[in-house]
Amino acid sequence: MKTKRIIAALLAVSTLVSLSACSNGQTASQQDVSSGSESSVDDDERNPVDVSDLELSGLTQEEEIEPVELQYLGVYNLTTAGDVKPAYKYFTENYGCTIKPTVVGSGALAQRLTAMLSSGESPDLVDYATNTFPLMMSKNMYTPLEDYMDLSAPQWSGLESYINKYKWAGHNYYYPWSYNVSTQWLIYNRGLFSELQIPDPKELYDEGNWDWDAFKSCMQDFVDSEEGRTGLYGQLGTAIFDTTGTPLISISEDGMLQSNFQDPNIERAASFYQDLKREELCKYATGDYIDISEEPIVNGLSAFQGMQEWIITNYAHKMQKDESLDIFFIPFPRDPDADKYYMGMSTFGYLVPAGSKNAKQAAVFINCCRLSKTDPALKATTTESIMKDKGYTEEQFEFLISFQEVENFDAVVDEPYGLDDATADIINTMLHDVAFPSDSGEDQSWTQMREANAGAIQAQVDNYNELIKQSNT
């Protein structure tokens, strides 16, 4: 059953693009799934984009940039995806450059990049993935971008501290253009909640009352409403842990990594999940449903589905076809014992591989993408493009986009999946099994799993810290 869930999840994540192009979903990055399909079917009749009258500040257009065809390697076609298409069209019309995409499954990204670099056929742009930092950066696979990027430009205002979190060996290789302070979402059937007179989580959030206790209470009411219902299924990631304010793997100001698996806050979040599992609130819905299936939410079998942002598009399309459906989503709830409402932050953007000869042009494109979030005119054009491409309601879109304004939140940067594939698998299994019944049938407590794996996790952290020290000498 677990294998079936993972395969289906990987196929979906590798072919769908979220509002921020691609989320840092841990499962997809750990497997080798190839996909030649594009993330978005584009045509100018369905989603026309006109940027001919736009003039963006923050770009040096008078500077001569040689027109080239950039080679892009990633998990989606950035030339057609609704959230990138306006930036791409502006880039092509004002700089004479084009981009040729090579689309692969997310799990195959690192392998394909390695092969292209080895053969001397380096792409010019590549997606950030969960194993980019620190694993891939430690292999000297990217081009430092300080000579091409200006953090004093208005589009990068307030982001320097986050960009520097991903610094390696004293250099900035990664300038994320999209930021989301909710790495995972809880999807729920708002119409059914209303029928069952269960408090609306969105209203609880607006009132400042959406915390772990309210989350559990909603699930209890839902499960008690009819036999055979469950509280929570899906993919949960680090979200509940990050609401404590303590990431599983933190990054200090000097770039050093720290494992926090022994921290009391992490233990407390794990205990919350274990309580849900003991009360049978956190399990897969009855029937042969996989964790990315929308049916348990649509059919009223489960109160919540934990999932990355991309799945919201699927629900939006279902609502377009069935106007009786009212599906909404909410970030993971606040830790009632934390001093603030912390949320784990995910980022997305592109890096320039080490073999690229077109770093200058690639950096201009990255700036265009970032300006799609900050320049009023390009942002409005991008919003229109997203709405046509994704099918969101205005309420859905406005709520989603509000979580990209990082200055309004207390964001936690947590990068537990980038150490190496084996350690990422260990952590992913721990985060699954602490909440859901183990597929092996041999459930272990968080303490047991932590003690069994703490040494392996710490060894990888120590390995990267030693590399960082060596690079600074």
Decide yes or no: CATH 1.10.3470.10 for domain 185-344+414-471: no
Note the pLDDT of residue 31. Answer: 30
Note the pLDDT of residue 2. Answer: 44
Name the stretches of the chain with pLDDT < 50: 1-41, 61-62
Per DSSP, 171 falls in state B
Residues in the chain: 473
Contact call for residues 217 and 346 (beta carbons, < 8 A): no
The tokens describing 162, both together, are 């986050």
Q: Determine the Cα–Cα distance for residues 273 and 276; give it in Å rounded to an integer.
A: 5
Note the pLDDT of residue 247. Answer: 96
Q: Residue 60: is it exposed, middle or buried by C-beta count within 10 angstroms (0-12/13-18/19+)?
A: exposed
The dihedral built from the CA positions of residue 134, 453, 270 and 279, taken in this order, carries a sign that is positive
Per DSSP, 142 falls in state B
Q: Determine the Cα–Cα distance for residues 49 and 386; give it in Å rounded to an integer.
A: 11
Note the pLDDT of residue 348. Answer: 95
Q: Which fold has domain 32-177+350-408?
A: D-Maltodextrin-Binding Protein; domain 2 (3.40.190)
Positions of CATH 3.40.190.10 in the chain: 32-177+350-408, 185-344+414-471
pTM tops 0.75: yes
Contact call for residues 294 and 311 (beta carbons, < 8 A): yes
Note the pLDDT of residue 13. Answer: 39
Note the pLDDT of residue 473. Answer: 65
